Amino acid sequence: MTASSATTAGDLWGRGEVRSVPDATMADLVEAAVRAHPTAPALISDVEGTLTFAGLNARANRLAHLLIGMGAGPERVVGVALPRSLDAVVAMVAVIKAGAVHLPLNPEYPVERLAAMVADSRPVAVLTATDLDVLPDPTSRTGTADTRVLRWDAIALDEHPDTDPTDADRVAPLHPAHPLYLIYTSGSTGVPKGVAMPATGLVNLLAWHGDRFAVGPGTRTANLSAIGFDFGMHEILSALVHAKCLVVPTEDVRADPIRLARWLDRHGVHQLFLPNVLIESLCEAAAVTGVALADLRDIIQSGEPLVLGATLRDFLRTHPSLRVHNHYGATEMQDATTWSTGRTAVPTIGTPLWNVRVHVLDDDLRPVPDGETGDLYVSGAGLARGYLRRPGLTAERYLPDPFGEPGQRMYRTGDLARWNADGELECLGRRDNQVKINGFRVELGEVEARLRERPGVRQALALPRHAANGGKQLVAYVVGSDVDVVRIRAELARVLPAHMVPAAVLALPALPIAPNGKVDLRALPSPEFATGGAEAETPDQQSLVDAFTEVLGVPAGVDDDFLALGGDSLGAVRLVVLARRAGLAVGTREVFELGTPRRLAAAATGTTAPTIPVRPLVALHHHQLNRLRAAHPNLVEILPVTPVQQGFLFHRLQDTDGYTEQLRLALAGPVDAPALRAAVVAAFRRHAPLRTAFLVDGLPEPLQVVVAEVEPPWRETDLTALDPAAAEARADVLAARGKATPFDVRTPPLLRLHLVHLPGGTAHLVLDYHHLLLDGWSVTLLVRELLAAEVVATPVPALRDWMRVLRAQNRDAAASAWRAALDGITEPTALATAAEGTSDSVHHVVDLPAEVTARLVEAARAHRLTLNTIMLALWGVVLAAETGRSRVVFGTTVSGRTDEVPGVEDLVAMLVNTVPVVVAVDPDEPVRAFLRRVRTEQLALARHQHLGLGAIRRLASWESEFDTLLVFENPDLLLDDPRITGVRHSDDTHYAVSLLITPGETLRMAFTYRPHLVPESRVRRLADSLSAGLAAVAGDVEGPVRALDVSPSASTGR
């Protein structure tokens, strides 16, 4: 019998369905998605905003043309060393469009390893972030003098066309068989080896993916895969090719399972690509926080055997429609060549994908009988070309396929497998010296080679050992003279990725030898992690000691170090979850930096509000504290005020008028008043700022005090007996009365709610609140919580956590930065004329036409600017023209929601800050250079925006404050709720002119001004000038600033 005539059941089961897939390049597929859905969101980031498919395509095209001009194209490599971001995806797409080979370089890898990858791959160029020194001068480190290192922020994309590159543009025609990406894996010789994958394999995988999973603009996928692995290519390109939306978190969010669960829930993510260990952590985090993850439909796992542990099984029971997909693959043959969706405790690796064949063979390459164990081989679609510049290794692992057509190859996986009675493959482990540690492939030979490079080491052995906690640890044994195992481990951490650094290194006088002459593995000692033995002194320390013991599987003491006990990155994730469950907020970064339960307990912040303010953030004498407790017997917390609250209280505490803000919501019927009232009560209990008062008299500084309980001011009025017009008129009167009723900031609460029932079952919900209490973000959060179908019970971060972060900022560095920025400015820019008396605020609203707005948005993306930057710059130009000054100063607000506070996006409070904006206007400067300069200046001050306006004024020695304020606000997300049919927000301003910018299909500019300070005619002139300037920028940025034509005389004639 010849090999090709084998007729076992396994031979039939091993044939994937033969299907026709597009004969197209990856660039073709991405561009087809762009043409089909140009305005759909392609990428979303909390930090960088949103890119549509058209916007992504335009930016990638400009970069692709730049790369082509540098010689990038088919068979030529381009490295991308960018952190997880929208820019990283844009860069990847640009490399694909240029026809080049994409080489992802993880910026968190040691520089030596990155340099080795660059030296081996010899890229035309490497793209890297300006603030990341991951690749030094390649001529000195990599030996590739022809490689260009491009700093991302220094690239002038707008100098290149935004059209799709064609073969006429490329250095050579692009074909599907050309390599699409180059991935480096652990190498047994001590050097990582590159695997080149042609586009045909991923095109086949994505065609199968589109048939099995939800696709289209309504589907959201999270970008969570590790940088530098083929799983990430599947994750990103399956989203782009199938017009899904890829949602990109920051690395801090990705590394913290608690924050990640909340982030996924907030973004309504449908699909996740995660290895098994991270699935367990995420499910546990969801259980701890109560986050529903109700939108989640599919979890796709690859990289290690899938095990449905207790946490995951519990999660699946509460999510019956959720599917967990087990993909089997390797870098050499795609991350998915077989798949299954079973819910058994240890799922099989299933059956082959389209156009893939798998074989279970004996040592003579003959099919083994069904049910017996053999070596697993894969052939057909999805095979890589082989190993870069390693023909011998390629020939060893990629063999002629005796069961296929002449010329076809099959890949020897090194895995042992068998067919079960259901016709599915069971993977039974490895035959070779390759292991998986926490989902990452590790060649033990590479670790051993690095060990032998250490001084004094003669022999080295690396092995996976079962840890006491049930997982796997990498343990190394060395033989030599004067071996310092602590130093060896530290040196390995500088040259190897974290997953390849042994949890322990043991020095032996000699390796034990068995009678057969081989190393006796059973005689090797297990690592014994020494513990400090000191007992915990506080409940928080004890909670962390217990968490250390559970995660690491060894008894821990309060002074034992996490890494010294064998901890790793995934263990840190698990530790964070357990700490949060105990009410302690720590992050993975703190686990590595602080290390011991004692230091972590000292730095940890609680996740629930304390009952007694044992150590307040302010220093008070006993008599002051006693007076506060006498005034507020149920006092539970004392906090300093935020910078913006401090400025308000110092200057305006006695003015009780004009600082009541009002939000009026029109609700569709029917309205369940008792449920709404219950939600209000729950919100007051959940959010401490809603139970807060503000005090100044007799205190060293203004304070906010939180009381344990307060009765929410709730009122209902029934107008259903009136005709609709009369009811609306009466509702207007009631709202006006509420707006005119002042608050006493010394007595909580500073929020009132009024539900007005109208004819037809509809209603108005009116929220009156003091200006001190809530920022716009918080108001939206609060309303969504009140209208939720169920009372929200998940914990929220404490305001004191945010306060601690605020107070930990470097005030000296901030003072130096602001002093330099304001140097030479003796007073802020003033629009107001001297006037007596007062006047109510008046509004003037201007909507930029939709076509101008669209051009402006595209111009911003093309020049890598935000709309906020353009608005700040143009308002500066308008003020300069209006006042005749070359440097102007006005105010703007910043959110204050730093990601250093886990869950800060859920914090209901007043976190915004008001800071100056300085714009220097040179009429002869090109507009493009002017806008970039403003962006650079604003970015330089971004890390110093925590400093209060009062402190900044003192640094500048200003007697007065600027009298214009520009606020850039996201679109009103409340209107996305079908239960809300209308929103009216009424607030006042103490500025002469406030300008609220709201982006959308039409950019809205809402001017609020006081006519006794700035007359209506002048405000209209300012609005006309700003509109004209924006229209000019939308059309052309090549001319000088003077060409923007925003002078008062020009706007008067418009």
pLDDT, residue 975, reads 62
| CATH superfamily entry for domain 434-523 | ANL, C-terminal domain (3.30.300.30)
Report which of 513, 512, 502 is spatially closest to residue 476, judged by C-alpha positions: 502
Q: Domain residue spans in the chain?
A: 434-523, 539-606, 622-795, 803-829+841-972+988-1052
**173 within 8 A of 74, measured Cβ to Cβ:** yes
576 burial class (0-12, 13-18, 19+ CB within 10 angstroms)?
buried
Cα gap 70→73, rounded to integer Å = 9
Residues of the chain with pLDDT under 50: 1-6, 137-143, 607-616, 654, 656-657, 1050-1054
Q: What is the CATH number of domain 622-795?
A: 3.30.559.10
| Lookup: tokens for 663 | 């939000």
- Give 58's contacts (C-beta < 8 A, 6+ positions apart): 162, 858, 861, 862
Residues 859, 1003 contacting (CB under 8 angstroms): no
* Residue 756 backbone dihedrals phi, psi, to 5 degrees: -110, 115
Q: Which residue has the tokens 């504290």?
A: 625
Contact 378, 183 (CB under 8 A): no
Count of CB atoms situated within 10 Å of the CB of 805:
17
Q: Assign 3-class secondary structure to 558-609.
A: CCCCCCCCCCCHHHHHHHHHHHHHCCEECCHHHHHHHCCHHHHHHHCEECCC
Q: What span, in angstroms and rounded, lies between the C-alpha atoms of 900 and 357?
A: 49
Claim: this prediction has a pTM higher than 0.75: no
Output the pLDDT for position 959: 78
Q: Give the model's pLDDT for residue 258.
A: 86
User: What's the rounded Cα separation, in Å, for the pair 586 and 603?
Assistant: 8
Classify each residue of 490-523 as buried b or exposed e, where b means 16 or more C-beta atoms within 10 Å of its C-beta. Answer: ebbeebbbebbbbbbbbbeeebeeeeeeebeeee
Tokens 């043959």 belong to residue = 333
Q: What kind of fold does domain 539-606 have according to CATH?
A: 1.10.1200
pLDDT of 874 reads 96
Q: Are 170 and 61 in contact (CB under 8 A)?
A: no
- Write down the pLDDT at residue 432: 63
H/E stretch holding 784? helix 776-786
Q: Virtual CA dihedral for 124, 127, 131, 134, nearest 10 degrees? A: -60
pLDDT score, position 11:
67
Residues 311 and 287: beta-carbon distance below 8 Å: yes
Predicted confidence at residue 1021, as pLDDT, reads 94
Instruction: List, for residues 457-482, the tens digit of each pLDDT value.
Output: 888 888 887 665 556 778 899 998 88
- The pLDDT value given to residue 520: 81
d(CA 59, CA 160): 10
Beta bridge pairs of residue 893: 914
Is the fold of 622-795 the same as that of 803-829+841-972+988-1052? yes
Domain spanning 803-829+841-972+988-1052: which superfamily?
Nonribosomal peptide synthetase, condensation domain (3.30.559.30)
Q: Which two tokens stand for residue 851?
A: 């076509």
